[in-house]
Chains A and B, each alone.
Chain A
Amino acid sequence: MGAKKKGQKKASLKESQAGLAFVAPAMILLFIFLFIPFLMTLGYSFTNYNILKPDATEFVGLKNFVKLTKDTVFHKSILNTFLFVIMVVPLQMGMGLGLAMLINRKTKGITAYRMAFFAPTVLSLVVVSILWSFIYNPNNGLLNSLLGSVGIGPFKFLNDPHTAMFCIVVLSAWQGCGFQMMVFLSGLQDIPEHLYEAAALDGATRFQQFLHITIPGLKNITTFIALSIVVSAFQLIVQPMMMTGGGPQNSTMTIVYMIYQTGFKYNQTGYGSAMALVFTVMVLLITILQNRLTSAVDEEER
């Protein structure tokens, strides 16, 4: 009896060793590229670390954080980032779902459409940003020419502080929604066909089918998509960097752009680290909140 138990223990020890060996590469990478940098950032944020003068680094206590409370551009960048997230998440999700439903049918040439809708996702954001700045050019851009031919405009787009962020929202949703479309599509194809047939027999309209079969059927996938868009939206940097330089009048300055500028352009890595730390805590809180909300909805339905 005792010998058998010992054998089991040995086996499970072996098993857990094997398990550890399997996760080790991932854990080591995470440790080196996420955990250590995070701890270093935490450390730097209490110093005056200048990237060109590493030897002159001194502990300055909470000075960087006090400076943050007075940094009006940083406050504006927080507002801008939230504005971007609030606008882009529903838009990009709606576009992803809409496109997925459009291409979720068996017609000839549907693969071509799928490729076309998916293509922007594969393009580099830098390329896409430069392309769209041509489209948005107030003088001879494609968009103003199009709008002009139906008698609207001209608009200044990226050169107007009131519209610049919205322009970036539109291009970001366009660039990103292909990926969400693919995920939604696989979700749509998981919903059994017979549910729709039964509903049709009961006389449900297309809209009722969408509301009561499609939406509940996609619930899990929607949570995943919403989370992934929110997280990537918070990292907005390439589009303003390439298109507006954070302007006009700081209307497209984002948190990550500011961290980059402070830490690497202005060499003030200590102060930049403090920004990064605040940003980390913010994203963490939002992720927790989002998790709570979605699980609360789950329980309600149970």
Chain B
Amino acid sequence: MKKKIISIMLATVMTAGLLAGCGEGNADQAEAQGNADQAEAQGNVTAEEQDAEAVAQDAEEENTEPSAEGVVELDLWVHETESAEGQLYKKLAEDFNNEYADKYHVTITQIARSGDAGGYDDKVNSAISNGGLPDVFTIDGVRVGEFADAGAIVPIGDYFTQEDLADFNPSIIQQGTYQDQLYTVGCFDSSVGIFYNKDMFEEAGITPATKEDPWTIEELTQAAEKLTTGDHYGITMALDAKDETVIYFFLPLIQSQNSNVIASDGLTAEGYLNGQASLNLMTWIKDMVDEGYASATPEANSFELGKAAMAVNGSWAPAGLADYDINWGIMPMAKWDENSTPASACGSWTFGMSKDCPEEEKEAAAELIKFMTSTDADAQMYAANSMPPARQSAFDQTGAFDSEPLDVFKYQLANTSKARPVSVNYAILSNQFATAMQNVLTGMDPKEALDEAVSQYNFQTDME
């Protein structure tokens, strides 16, 4: 009997090791080892250690082919592996090699992002420390400020013609620009709209807003009130989110009031994060929940399951909606009031050229970035992950965004989209914004929550 127990325990310890090895968190499984030192080490997993792990575990696919003399060798890192998007990056790299067979050759390395404490970000971080960055790598649009400030990426604007740059969505250029220099461009974009249940709208006698003429917050609130019944909420807004989603979804309602959560210097939060516009937003959200029009803890897929008449959601949602039996459409993101300009969300992963790219290879690296973000690449990316293109010409080529319901996204990206702030302190800012929202939703006074967020922001960034 005892032998059996011991063997079960052994098996567990081994499984535990395996699970920990999968890279998620790492902190969870150390108990099996009952080792006091482990506790200490846990807190300070160094870059090296994580790097070693990342290298050991991540499915790295390299399609190295022998290349001819005089061919410039390039390295490319991307953050997707087995997904349709990841497959496409691999295919695009192959296409690039075929097209420029006598001039350039790229070796693509695909590294998975394993959750929050993910592999890709850690590998990039440690490569910055040890000078091992590839020539070109993908960067989350909101981190461009951090990377540019650290000098990890170099400006690429000069390699593009003005005409070519004008083809990109304005927000893609805005997102990739730090201190008047263009650092990155992407091959897809994203947008957020208000999805609505057509049957419920008909029942309540409500006419949806058109893409050119979004509802004001007041109109949205009135509609939500009418649409709220015992069966379903008026609207679901992902209010249980505690991450990047919060600022991504709701910043446009602050930008629509001609304000932001940070000053244009990208540093000062005082008077912005806790400014009148933010306060208006938080108060509105609190009211929506207090009145029962929206849930602070929405059930997963509320809209799809008919438990909410409207949903604030992104351009990736239509793909999943096809599986549900509801009749839906998309309205543009609301604007604040009659006098304010409409604003909408945007942003995506982008390609940047690293500081470790040697001078003589820069031309080639720029060609690679252009190739990965070309009209053709954008159109193929839409086919792979159904995200809206980052270029007007690609919108024209796919044609998918020319008719309802997706035309809203095309219109927003061409006319109303506003990038999130490009700031060195973006991670802290975004986190404090999300924390303030959660604090409001769990009972804190909006003004107090925002002041607290600013004082935390100032403390963390040493700006007191």
Q: Which A residues form the contact surface with B (CB < 8 A)?
A: 30, 33-34, 37-38, 40-41, 50-54, 67, 70-71, 73, 118, 121-122, 124-126, 134, 137-140, 156, 159-161, 176, 179, 182-183, 185-186, 189, 224, 227-229, 231-232, 234-238, 241, 244-249, 255-256, 259-268, 272-273, 275-276, 279-280, 283-284, 287
Chain A residues in 8 Å Cβ range of B31:
176, 179, 228-229, 231-232, 235
Interface residues of B in 1-58 (CB under 8 A from A): 1-2, 5-6, 8-9, 12, 15-16, 19, 22, 24-25, 27-32, 34-49
Contacts of B42 in A (CB 8 A): 235, 256
CA distance A103 to B147 in the complex (A): 56
Return the CB mask of B234-250 against A: 1 if under 8 Å, else 0: 00000000110000000
From B209-217, B294-302, B384-392, B404-412, give the one contacting chain A: B294-302
- Listed A/B pairs (23) with beta-carbon separation below 8 Å: A33-B49, A38-B40, A50-B150, A51-B129, A53-B151, A118-B8, A125-B28, A159-B441, A160-B442, A176-B31, A179-B31, A179-B32, A227-B36, A232-B34, A237-B25, A245-B438, A256-B27, A256-B43, A266-B428, A266-B431, A268-B460, A284-B36, A287-B36
Question: Which residue of chain A is the closest to B152 with respect to CB atoms?
Answer: A52
- A279-B40 contact, Cβ under 8 Å, with A33-B49, A232-B31, A235-B27: yes
Other CB < 8 Å A-B pairs besides A137-B297, A235-B39, A249-B442, 10 of them? A34-B40, A38-B44, A124-B28, A125-B25, A232-B39, A238-B24, A245-B242, A249-B439, A256-B42, A279-B43
Docked CA distance A19–B464 (Å)? 57
Flag if B5 contacts A186 (CB, 8 Å).
yes
Name the A residues within 8 Å of B44 (CB-CB).
Answer: 37-38, 40-41, 259, 263, 272-273, 276, 280
| Contact across chains for A280 and B5 when beta carbons are under 8 A apart | no
Docked CA distance A71–B28 (Å) = 26
Determine which of B37, B47, B456 lies in contact with A34 in the assembled complex, contact meaning CB atoms within 8 Å: B37
Residues in chain B within 8 A of chain A (CB atoms): 1-2, 5-6, 8-9, 12, 15-16, 19, 22, 24-25, 27-32, 34-49, 115-117, 121-122, 125, 128-129, 146-147, 149-152, 242-243, 295-300, 427-428, 431, 434-435, 438-439, 441-444, 456, 459-460, 462
- A interface, over-half SS: helix
Inter-chain CA distance A40–B41, complex, in Å, is 11
| B116-A255 in contact (CB<8A) | no
How far is the CB of B285 from the nearest CB of chain A, in Å?
A: 14
Kindly state the separation between the CA atoms of A287 and B38 in the bound complex, as whole angstroms. 12
| Residues B40 and A283 in contact, CB atoms below 8 Å apart | yes
Q: How far is the CA of A276 from the CA of B40 in the complex (A)?
A: 7
Whether A247 pairs with B242 at a CB distance below 8 angstroms is yes
